[in-house]
Structure 1
Amino acid sequence: MLYLIDYEQRLLVPAPVTGIPARRPQAVDRTLAGRCFRHVQAMASPAGTPGVWLPVLDGADRLGVLEVAVPEGVDLDDPVFAERCRLLGHLTGHLITAKRPYGDALDQLMRRRPRTVASELLHQLLPPLTFACEGLVVSGLLQPAYDVAADAFNYSVVGDSAHLAILDATGHDLGGTVLAAVALSAYCNRRRNGHGLYDTATAMDEHIAAHSDGERFATGVLGELQLCTGRLRYLNAGHPAPLLMRDGKVAKELKGGRRSCHSRSPDRS
């Protein structure tokens, strides 16, 4: 039985199966299925109901869980069985990601209420919410999931470099969201063409000015992280200072990297 996470990441919603009675959604914060999802770890069902809950992943992106019935006598701690369960969870996640763009059935299952047009556009622009490789995990989420407007993020990891961007356009409406889409497209275009932070920000400025009414603008933070050294270069264009976290606590604000019409290079830390 497949359960997909809803857009607010509060409920695991069962996919309908012909001939099987409908199941109830599973709360992420107080069920065994939710614990499997949170900890990304297989969980054995309670005694008397032989089975196992498996996390469903596309790479590192958590999509939901599988409830799998297990015949009596199967050793849930057997390494071969555990590896097959892991592969089943990953294969299911890859299939969901591959098939999802071709229809609305999975998306309709994941949304619990109507979404605004602005929010619909933003969600179409997002990369996978979580990415992981050796030495790096990137994760993001748009909230409120059904009413968000004008905020966006993007990332790319190529070789030893991670590229990051967080954007906030003025006007929490469809107009602001369109402006955020323009800024994000300009960012991706310049980044993919091999340009640095300052040139990328300049191009974003130009496109925002060309597509705004003269009163709208966008703030943002652009960053480049060298994975082999941990060195971060970032540029802050009118956005609140990023926060450096250690052990779940704010270690400091990154107050440098401020860009103006007179700046020539991003700050480094």
Structure 2
Amino acid sequence: MPEFDYPRKSGMPVLGIGTWQNEDPAQCAQSVQTALDMGYRHVDTAQIYGNEDAVGDGIEQADVARDDVFLATKIWTSELSHDDVLESFEESLDKLGTDYVDLLYVHWPANEYDAADTLSAFDELYDEGKIEHIGVSNFEPRHLDEAREVLDAPLFANQVELHPFLPQTELREYADEHDIELVGYSPLARGEVFDDDTIAEVAEKHDASAAQVALAWAREKGVTTIPKATSEAHIRDNWESLGVSLDPEDVEKIDGIDRLEREVDPDFAPWN
């Protein structure tokens, strides 16, 4: 296994293992364990994924200390009232087998979300040391403005869909301006990057896979990525993206791809 310098942004490793739709408990636990034993130190899950138990099992089974793992989970939209945040988060801690998480997100600004009510609970958990960082997910600039105004603690991260076909230029600029980390989910566009000629051309140039190029492109943009993978081969392929360095010409080619596609677009999304 190649050794890579594993860059971190503000304490958060810039490559993580995503677990969305990794619903089989044994497989999910094995994926997390495999990733951690390979060198990953960032694990992302959520209440709605239904796999916090399995993620906790994978962390426990890996030959890595809990304090060396950057663990993130998310509060679902039905649990975003102040008291529900606190109660459901305790359930998440129990499932994950830990007494804290490194990053807790509001999953969507939807349903029971009310900035003042919801985020006051996040502040409370932060003050109690049960969460190291506060994050939000799928927030647009107007929601970020409101969250930053309401929160006492710093707003650490915004997690959004991001890949070469949805580069999120406005949100990247906002994150840079306000010192917020941007975390990209579905960084492989749910497999669409494998069929793009431009990405294939750059991949051939670097003797790399299309997945590695997409992840390296996001890293060049200053974005942390959390690609979901279940097999050891895919987990390793994503990991080896850390050894791919794109030059400005490569990034410009990918930036010039003439397609705009959103893979995750529920009716309750704030842009609808």
Greater C-alpha Rg: 1
Same fold (TM over 0.5): no
User: If the length of structure 1 is used for normalisation, what is the TM-score?
Assistant: 0.29
Question: More helix per residue: 1 or 2?
Answer: 2
User: Which structure shows the higher strand fraction?
Assistant: 1
Structure of greater relative contact order (alpha carbons < 8 Å, 6+ residues apart): 2
